Chains A and B, each alone.
Chain A
Amino acid sequence: MEELILKLKKEIIEVLNLEDVKPEDIDSNAPLFGAEGLGLDSIDALELIVLMEKNYGIKLQDPNQGKEIFKSINVMADYISKNRTK
């Protein structure tokens, strides 16, 4: 799981172009959206949806499910490990 979390952090930094952020700067339990965590917004959310599909073969189509999955890096990684097809 730790390996997947690190990989996920690197992918997020790359696709979201977070130039000054390093994987170790991201708290795996912190919220991804809003002022408290990474401070992502709706444009970034779509990028994460596309990332899940391209890199892990997971199609997120239920908005309610999506809101839960994007709570934190840990929640995302847990969902990926259970549902990935790639």
Chain B
Amino acid sequence: MQEPEHSEWSGRTDGTPFMQKALIVLFKVVPLEVIYAIMALVVPFYMLFNHKGYIAIYHFFRLRLGKKPLSAFWHVYRNHYAFGQVVLDRFATYAGKRFKLTIDGNEHYQHLNEGEQGFMMLSSHVGNYEQAGYALVSDRKQFYALVYAGESATVMSERGKQFVGSNIHMIPVQADMTHLFCINKALDDGNIVSMPADRCFGSAKSVECQFFGAKAEFPLGPFATAVQKDVPVLAVMVMKTSHRSYTAYVRPVKCDRALSRKQQMTALAQAFANSLESVVSHYPHQWYNYYEFWNGERV
């Protein structure tokens, strides 16, 4: 039971283990804003060397948001800067710093959290989803996050330290598909399973959705899982709103359960895409899929 790796994105945090550990130490002695300022100077070089990612985000602003060339270039810079901020925030959190997090739509989470049934939380590569782990904490259920198994040892180790003693567990995606048994059991036991729903990893099967006015492929896996296990679904997008604060947007993802199973999977995917578009429209600089996301723009 082997599955192919994704060819368009590496799925891991950039930087050598030494650089990542040095960042954690740095945050213990240097204010966050100073590190942001240094990063702002580095961003143009990153844009220069990350040419494929640069072009993909340029296309996002030009073709999907209708920006003019110079304006799109400026927005690409802001996008890379915002991405740098959330990566730095992640390491700042590992160093012990905390951010203020406001939850918009918490009632949807609490309603499902109080029930006996398991449910799914779908993430995406926008904002800083990891911050949700520090705020959307359940006192009744275990939280299982499906993660890319190729993430660096430093990130996995530091992430693990943050959640020691908590009810948060990581399920790495394995080529032999053992992660599926963990997902199945977690949902059967009434727990929460979180997984990314904007990139294909594991199964290569996808579903075409209308997204920002054009067709894009979303992974079938998360939506198939929700239909197969007949569990409710939430979309959770955690967006950076200032240097020291984030807002988590929690949105129910629903479809007509009278539809066929296959139709339900497609409808759920489209409902998720709609929620994602609604939030990303307000935070376009926090869209972090650095590859050609839309079908017509792939080269």
Contact = CB atoms under 8 A, between A and B. Distances in A.
A67 B205 contact: no
A45 B229 contact: no
Given A17-B262, A50-B228, A70-B1, A42 B202 contact: yes
A34 to B, nearest CB: 6
Interface stretch (A5-13, A21-29, A57-65): A57-65
Contacts of B182: 63
B1 A46 contact: no
Interface in B174-195: 176-185, 188
Contacts of A45: 1, 177, 180
B181 A60 contact: yes
Contacts of B228: 46-47, 50
A42 B177 contact: yes
B2 interface: yes
Q: Is the interface of A mostly helix, strand, loop or mixed?
A: helix
Interface in A36-86: 41-43, 45-47, 49-50, 59-64, 66-67, 70
Contact of B181 (A33, A41, A62): A62
B203 interface: yes
Q: Chain B interface residue count: which class?
A: 20 to 34
Contacts of A34: 1-2
Contacts of B3: 41-42
Contacts of B262: 17
A45 B2 CA distance: 12
B284 interface: no
A80 B104 CA distance: 47
Interface string B249-280: 00000000000011000000000000000000
Interface of A: 17, 33-34, 41-43, 45-47, 49-50, 59-64, 66-67, 70
24 contacts: A17-B262, A42-B179, A42-B180, A42-B202, A43-B203, A43-B220, A43-B224, A45-B1, A45-B177, A45-B180, A46-B225, A47-B228, A49-B180, A50-B184, A50-B229, A59-B188, A60-B184, A61-B184, A62-B181, A63-B182, A64-B178, A67-B1, A67-B176, A70-B1
